[in-house]
Structure 1
Amino acid sequence: MRSVKAFAPATVANVSCGFDILGFAIDAMGDTVELVLKDEPGLVVVSIDGDGGKLPLEAEKNTCAVAIQAMLDELDSKVGMNIYLTKGLPLGSGMGSSAASAVAALAAANRLLGDPFEKKDLLPFAIAAEKVACGAGHADNVAPSLLGGFVLVRDYHPLDVIKLPVPQGLYCTLLHPHYELKTADSRSVLRDQIPMKHATIQSGNVAGLIAGLYESDFELISRSLRDVIAEPYRAVLLPGFYEVREALKSAGALGMGISGSGPTLFALSRGKETAEAVGEAGKKMFSKIGLEVDVYFSEINTQGAYIVEEK
């Protein structure tokens, strides 16, 4: 092989009550990375399409190259590669854009090198790339993008990631308003300390959501999709958040929340028809408050990153 192309899906992090510990993958969209072996050592980011010229081509700043370099360092390898990134995700959307790029690059590099790592063992290299992109090595985007489905990040020292079941018929609606919200702003409004009462409520909701996934109990999932730690502070940064939430619930959503740091909102529904109705309700409400919005419907991606083409 001289070249490999791989795809990694978009993700929803936090999933309301699972702040920084839960995430799931989306089937509808993602990023694609093609790697081509070159004769001389070193990683070169040749091109990035779909980013509007905003992402860095310098290898030490690009998440694709940083992730691959972390893998090569572990292997003590000097292999050279040209990197071609195609962005299918909007930047700063809260849909795991940087994570998808890093994960697609790792999936392609691993195959190009003859699969020296199991899929789950690529995760630390993706986390290294997230540190460069976001300033912190969170795994709640990279883990579901890599592994697919719902993922629980139980701990980092040592890294302990658990893949959770996905009930049949569970769909996601994503609403991406044309509104800029910086991750730094979303983080800055959070509190360093939380009341014991809120910690107890949040713990119950996380446990309830995980139990609901295992039992395919949609009513329990619905009752558990409640965030009392981050959402109350972040909601004020999102125009029309509470009005949109009521519209989505009235349309049949099991629950909704902020995808990652926002501004994208997600809603979980039982069945495709309900997910589409939820999207239409959200679109109408955003129109009323004067914001354009992109709407996506998707089953949960249970495959994670995969190889598209080998040559």
Structure 2
Amino acid sequence: MESIRVFAPATVANVACGFDIFGFAVASPGDEVVLTRSETPGVRITDIIGDEGRLPREASRNTAGISIQKYLQHIGQPELGFEMVLNKQMPLGSGLGSSAASAVAGVFAANELLGRPLTPLQLLPFAMEGERIACGSAHADNVGPSLLGGFVVVRSYNPLDVVRIQTPASLYCTLVHPDIEVNTKDARFILKNEVSLKNTIIQMGNVAGLIAGLMTPDYDLISRSLVDVIIEPVRSILIPEFNEVKQAALDAGALGCSISGSGPSMFALSRDADVAERIGAAMQQAFLAVGITSEAYVSEINQQGPKVLA
């Protein structure tokens, strides 16, 4: 192949109690990359669609571009040439893993064009470099599920140890993105550097409970464990009407509701597609009550991750 078009999905990171260690992929939205082989060495971004001119066109400063560059260096072929068109299909600063989806789409496309010399798991460190460019931290809770699909646990960063776990087939996610923006760096800056022993114990119990609930499956345990006593109380102040929107989701039948990534998007989990749609409508209405419009997405957990488009 000389050219390829790849879609990489949005993700929900943290998943309430799992700050920087939990994440899962959804069906939509996502980003697309069209990558074409070129005789001119290096990675060149020829166009970016949907970013309103905000993203850098220089490959070494772009999440998708730097991921491909690091990948080519690793496989010993930095002289290879690629031209890339990036189609941003979700808003920046949304809490949906926008930068991660771009990085994943780019490095996955390059690996496909070169005959898959590396496995998806082996591509993860290069996608993480895209996150470092985007927010200053090479975290894996977005790029992991976007690249591997499903629900991912980042057990360790040094050494990198990422585990994909089984989730119930009937588990649905409702994502609502209010039309406001939260900068990821700002959302990390306001976090406290120290956590009380009491809250640490509570959070560890919820982390263990959520994993057990997902793998059993035990929906009541999932519901009881979707509680964040460390990050959510701080970051929720950046989202207008957060408590009202969360309560609307719970009243509509959600197992739990929290912030997606660093926000302002919010997610809710449920065990039925109709309930998931009803939750989305209720959350949107709660935002609209204070004049904030939003977009809603409903899907099962995306087990595939990135895919080649015809």
**TM over 0.5, yes or no?**
yes
In the alignment, does 2:290 pair up with 1:289?
yes
> SS at the partner of 1:136?
coil
Match for residue 108 of structure 2? 107
Letter in 2 for 1:35: L
Match for residue 269 of structure 1? 270
Sequence identity (%): 53
CA contact (8 A) 2:92 2:181 kept: no
Match for residue 64 of structure 1? 64
Match for residue 34 of structure 1? 34
Match for residue 230 of structure 2? 229
CA contact (8 A) 1:150 1:166 kept: yes
1: CA distance, partners of 2:308 / 2:297: 23
CA contact (8 A) 1:172 1:269 kept: yes
> SS at the partner of 2:59?
coil
Q: 1:135-187 deviations in whole A, cap 9, x for unaligned?
A: 10000000000001100001011110000112011111111111222222211
2: CA distance, partners of 1:266 / 1:247: 12
Structure 2 portions without partners, runs of 5+: none
Letter in 1 for 2:172: Y
Q: 1:5-46 deviations in whole A, cap 9, x for unaligned?
A: 111100000000000100000102211111111112111000
Aligned length: 309
2: CA distance, partners of 1:128 / 1:285: 37
Counting only pairs closer than 5 Å after superposition, residues 1-311 of structure 1 correspond to structure 2 as 1-77=1-77, 78-309=79-310
2: CA distance, partners of 1:232 / 1:198: 12
Letter in 1 for 2:217: S
CA contact (8 A) 1:144 1:304 kept: yes
Letter in 2 for 1:3: S
1: CA distance, partners of 2:76 / 2:275: 50
> SS at the partner of 1:211?
helix
1: CA distance, partners of 2:291 / 2:109: 41
1: CA distance, partners of 2:121 / 2:92: 25
1: CA distance, partners of 2:68 / 2:182: 29
Letter in 2 for 1:267: A
1:112: how far off? 0.6
Name the Cα RMSD after superposition: 0.9
1:286: how far off? 0.9
> SS at the partner of 2:291?
coil
1:305: how far off? 1.0
2: CA distance, partners of 1:250 / 1:291: 20
Letter in 1 for 2:58: E
CA contact (8 A) 1:107 1:307 kept: no
> SS at the partner of 1:60?
helix
Letter in 2 for 1:95: L
Letter in 2 for 1:152: V
Letter in 2 for 1:253: A
Q: 1:250-303 deviations in whole A, cap 9, x for unaligned?
A: 000000100000000000011100000101111111111221111111111000
> SS at the partner of 1:26?
strand
Letter in 2 for 1:298: S
1: CA distance, partners of 2:258 / 2:127: 25
CA contact (8 A) 1:8 1:146 kept: yes
Q: TM-score, normalised by structure 1?
A: 0.98
Q: Which runs of 4+ in 1 moved over 4 A?
A: none
> SS at the partner of 2:73?
helix
> SS at the partner of 1:282?
helix
2: CA distance, partners of 1:4 / 1:294: 29
1: CA distance, partners of 2:190 / 2:75: 41
Letter in 2 for 1:23: G
Q: TM-score, normalised by structure 2?
A: 0.98
2: CA distance, partners of 1:70 / 1:188: 27
1: CA distance, partners of 2:164 / 2:203: 20
Q: 1:44-74 deviations in whole A, cap 9, x for unaligned?
A: 0001111111111011111111000101001
CA contact (8 A) 1:43 1:82 kept: yes
> SS at the partner of 2:56?
coil
